[in-house]
Chain A
Amino acid sequence: MINVNALAFYYQKDGFRLNVPEFTVEKKEKVAVIGSSGSGKTTFLNLIAGIITPNAGMVRVGDVSISDLNDSRRRDFRITHMGFVFQDFELLDYLNVLDNILHPYRITRALKLDKSVKRRAALLAEEMGIGDKLKRKAADLSQGEKQRAAICRALLPKPKLILADEATGNLDPENKTLIMDLLFRAVEEHDATLLAVTHDHELLKRFDRVIDFKNFQELDVSCSTAFT
Chain B
Amino acid sequence: MFDSLYIAWKYIGYNKARTATLIACITLIGFLPISLELLLDESEHQLMSRAVTTPLVVGVKGSALDLVMNTLYFGNEVPELMTMAVSDRIMDTDLALPIPLYARFRARGHPIVGTTLDYFEFRGLKMAEGQQIAVLGDCVVGAGAAEQLGLRPGDDLVSSPENMFDLAGVYPLKMKVTGVLHKSHTSDDLAVFVDLKTAWVIQGLGHGHQGVTVLKDPTLVLKRTEGNVVATAKLYHYMEITDENINSFHFHGHIAGYPITAVIAVPYDAKSGTILQGRYLSKGESYQIVKPEDVIDGLLQNIFRIKNVLDAVISVVALATVMAIILVFALSLRLRQREMETVFKLGCSRMTMVRLVASEILIIVSASGIFCGAMVVLVDQFSNDLVRTLFIR
Given A79-B347, A103-B346, A104-B346, verify A94-B11 contact (CB < 8 Å): yes
- Name the distance in Å between A219's Cβ and chain B's nearest Cβ: 28
Q: Which of B297-353 contact A (CB under 8 A)?
A: 338-339, 342-350, 352
A208 interface contact, C-beta 8 A: no
Q: In whole angstroms, how far apart are the Cα atoms of A113 and B4 in the complex?
A: 13
**Does A79 lie within 8 Å of B13, measured CB to CB?**
no
Q: Is A49 an interface residue (CB 8 A)?
A: yes
On whether the beta carbons of B15 and A107 are closer than 8 Å, the reply is no
CB-defined contacts of B345 to chain A, threshold 8 Å = 46, 49, 51, 84, 86, 90
B10 touches A51 (CB 8 A): no
B14 at the A/B interface (Cβ < 8 Å)?
yes
Is A64 located at the chain interface by the 8 A CB criterion? no
When the two chains form their complex, are residues B339 and A107 in contact, meaning their CB atoms are under 8 A apart? Answer: no
Stretch of A3-11, A70-78, A169-177, A183-191 on the interface side: A70-78
Q: Is the CB of B339 within 8 A of A92?
A: yes
Within 8 A of B (CB), among A107-124: 107-108, 110, 113
Interface presence of B48 (CB below 8 A): no
Chain B interface mostly helix, strand, loop or mixed? Answer: helix
Question: Quick one: given A92-B342, A107-B3, A108-B352, are A75 and B347 in contact (CB under 8 Å)?
Answer: yes
Give every chain B residue within 8 A of A105 (Cβ-Cβ).
3
Least distance between A195 CB and chain B CB atoms (Å): 15
**Interface residues in A, total, Cβ within 8 A:** 29
Distance in Å: Cβ of A123 to nearest Cβ of chain B: 21
Whether A75 pairs with B348 at a CB distance below 8 angstroms is yes
Partner among A46, A93, A107 whose Cβ is within 8 Å of the Cβ of B346:
A107
Q: Does B122 contact A (CB under 8 A)?
A: no
Closest B-chain residue to A106, C-beta based? B3
Contacts of B15 in A (CB 8 A): 94
B268 at the interface (CB under 8 A from A): no
B7 surroundings in chain A (CB, below 8 A): 95, 99, 103, 106-107
Tell me the nearest residue of chain A to B6, going by C-beta: A106
CA distance A95 to B7 in the complex (A): 8
Bound form: Cα–Cα A139–B345 in Å: 20
Residues of the B chain whose Cβ atoms lie less than 8 Å from the Cβ of A72: 349
B residues less than 8 Å from A103 (CB atoms): 7, 343, 346
A192-209 interface bits toward B, Cβ cutoff 8 Å, 1 = contact, 0 = none: 000000000000000000
Enumerate chain A residues within 8 angstroms of B6, measured Cβ to Cβ: 106
CA distance A106 to B359 in the complex (A): 13
Chain A residues lying within 8 Å of B356, measured Cβ to Cβ, are: 107
In the complex, what residue of chain B is closest to A153 when comparing beta carbons? B346
| Given A94-B13, A95-B10, A103-B343, 12 new contacts (CB under 8 A) | A51-B345, A75-B344, A76-B349, A79-B347, A82-B347, A90-B338, A94-B15, A104-B347, A107-B349, A107-B356, A108-B352, A113-B3
Show 18 residue pairs from A and B whose CB-CB distance is below 8 angstroms, ordered by the A residue: A71-B350, A72-B349, A75-B348, A76-B349, A77-B347, A78-B346, A79-B346, A90-B342, A94-B10, A94-B15, A95-B10, A99-B10, A103-B346, A104-B346, A104-B347, A107-B349, A108-B352, A113-B3
